[in-house]
């Protein structure tokens, strides 16, 4: 790539506002998703919650596998070459249709070839879940395209609309006495469709659509595939635990585990939101400056994550038992174990994003791969013996390994010094200077 073009200043919010807006959307989405988990768990019990979690999680995992991480290329190309945005929007539609259709077919086969003996669901439930795969991919592509142009307001709306629509539909059916497992899965699919529709319309209005050229498709897929291995490994570490707990255990055990995982999602949103917000800036930064920015972001996030993790560990009985009911007592220990892994996710989100933004996606993939390998070994060893608690332990260790490897690679590649990760008195002053420089 040649020297990146800068976006118009009137479309770039201040760093502080961008970070808070993105983090706010993650928090809002997480809160609504959690409310939906509470609703379905209370009315359908741990077993019903487990069946819903199995179908939606496996479908989401396969959707990510089928996406080939083309969104990573789209956000980079869109940020560096604004004139290519119409063609990128066209590429998003084409790839979502082709890859999504293939993914849906593969998912249907997998559900039949690899059934979960402890979970019972009908063919219609499977059909609803797999039909959402192309839409899920479309939503992901256009969410990244919106973020690449600093359309953070619309990106936030698109992001939270999926859980909001799902919750509203489930709440309405619950009030009418008609909430079932099938209805909950259908509500999830409709939520994804509404989110995708909002984002596609917005990107179409802001940049338009154009037929993508074959070289552009190859460029998108080429870059995406280079980072896809890492994404597959991370998604596997992050979501394969649900699949294995459901396949090797039963719906009730997966239901209690999904409650702990839902709270854990809220913990990791901080570093995820910050890394997404600063991605365009890291893309335009020099190698050394990207390392310094990543270290500064890490220092600030580490303090906040420490506070959040500590509070989660202490409040776990209230979060799991008081809110969800005595049937979910087993999730208390699972949540406390998972919470420790948030530090690894923080390091991975921040340093992995810096590596990808600096055109080194394979290095991020390496970090994911090492963590995935460790987690897979532990899944096989721990889940048959310890069930959901074993899955929580394996996942937490996998997250910590991923973060440690990403940090080491950032140290070697971006010139990041380990001592720069220690809190510094100038952090607040530095952030305020950046905010003032970015305003307007």
435 pLDDT exceeds 50?
A: no
Read off the pLDDT of each residue in 220-249 and give the average, rounded to a whole number: 81
The predicted-structure confidence for 161-176, as pLDDT tens digits, reads as follows 999 999 999 999 999 9
Q: Residue 90's pLDDT is what? A: 97
Read off the pLDDT of each residue in 303-313 and give the average, rounded to a whole number: 91
* CA 104 to chain CA mean position, Å: 20
Residue 439: pLDDT band (50, 70, 90) is very low
Read off the pLDDT of each residue in 205-218 and give the average, rounded to a whole number: 94
418 pLDDT exceeds 90?
A: no
Read off the pLDDT of each residue in 44-63 and give the average, rounded to a whole number: 92
For residue 27, count other CB atoms closer than 10 A to its CB: 16
Q: Residue 440's pLDDT is what? A: 45
Percentage above 70 pLDDT, the chain: 86
Q: Residue 23's pLDDT is what? A: 64
Percentage above 90 pLDDT, the chain: 52
223 pLDDT exceeds 90?
A: no
Residue 359: pLDDT band (50, 70, 90) is confident
For residue 307, count other CB atoms closer than 10 A to its CB: 10
Q: Residue 429's pLDDT is what? A: 61
The pTM (predicted TM-score) of the whole model is 0.75
90 within 8 A of 211, measured Cβ to Cβ? yes
Helices in 249-360 by DSSP H: which ranges? Answer: 251-277, 279-284, 287-317, 323-324, 331-340, 342-357
Nearest 10 degrees: Cα torsion 233, 361, 397, 238? -40
For residue 17, with 0-12 CB atoms within 10 Å meaning exposed, 13-18 middle and 19 or more buried, which class applies?
Answer: middle
- Sorted by sequence, the CB contacts under 8 Å of residue 89 that are 6+ apart come out as 142, 145, 203, 204, 207, 208, 209, 210
């Amino acid at each position: 790539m040649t020297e990146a073009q800068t976006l118009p200043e009137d479309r770039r919010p201040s760093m502080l506002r961008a970070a808070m807006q993105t983090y706010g959307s993650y928090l809002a989405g997480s809160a609504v998703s959690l409310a939906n988990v509470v609703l379905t768990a209370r009315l359908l019990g741990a077993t019903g919650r487990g069946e819903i979690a199995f179908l939606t999680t496996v479908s989401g995992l396969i959707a990510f596998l089928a996406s080939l991480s083309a969104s990573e290329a789209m956000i980079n190309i869109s940020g560096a070459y604004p004139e290519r945005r119409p063609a990128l929007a066209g590429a998003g539609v084409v790839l979502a249709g082709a890859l999504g259709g293939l993914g849906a077919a593969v998912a249907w086969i997998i559900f039949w070839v690899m059934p979960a003996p402890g979970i019972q669901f009908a063919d219609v439930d499977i059909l609803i879940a797999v039909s959402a795969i192309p839409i899920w991919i479309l939503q992901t592509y256009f969410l990244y395209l919106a973020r690449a142009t600093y359309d953070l307001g619309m990106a936030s709306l698109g992001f939270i609309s999926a859980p909001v629509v799902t919750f509203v539909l489930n709440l309405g059916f619950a009030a009418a006495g008609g909430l079932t497992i099938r209805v909950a899965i259908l509500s999830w699919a409709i939520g994804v469709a509404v989110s995708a529709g909002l984002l596609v319309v917005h990107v179409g209005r802001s940049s338009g659509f154009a037929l993508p050229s074959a070289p552009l498709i190859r460029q998108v897929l080429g870059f995406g595939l280079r980072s896809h291995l890492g994404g597959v490994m991370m998604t596997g570490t992050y979501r394969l635990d649900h699949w294995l707990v459901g396949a090797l255990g039963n719906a009730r055990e997966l239901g209690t585990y999904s409650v702990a995982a839902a709270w854990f999602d809220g913990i990791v949103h901080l570093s995820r939101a910050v890394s997404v917000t600063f991605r365009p800036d890291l893309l335009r930064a020099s190698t050394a400056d990207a390392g310094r920015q990543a270290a500064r972001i890490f220092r600030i996030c580490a303090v906040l994550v420490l506070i959040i993790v500590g509070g989660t560990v202490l409040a776990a009985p209230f979060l799991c038992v008081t809110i969800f009911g005595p049937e979910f007592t087993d999730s208390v220990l699972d949540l406390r174990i998972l919470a420790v892994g948030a530090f690894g996710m923080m390091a991975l989100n921040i340093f992995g994003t810096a590596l990808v933004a600096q055109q080194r996606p394979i290095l991020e993939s390496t970090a994911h791969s090492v963590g995935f390998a460790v987690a897979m070994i532990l899944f096989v060893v721990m889940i048959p013996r310890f069930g959901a608690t074993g899955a929580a332990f394996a996942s937490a260790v996998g997250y910590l390994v991923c973060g440690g490897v990403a940090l080491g690679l950032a140290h070697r590649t971006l010139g990041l010094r380990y001592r720069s990760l220690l809190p510094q008195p100038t952090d607040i002053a530095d952030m305020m200077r950046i905010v003032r420089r970015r305003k307007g």
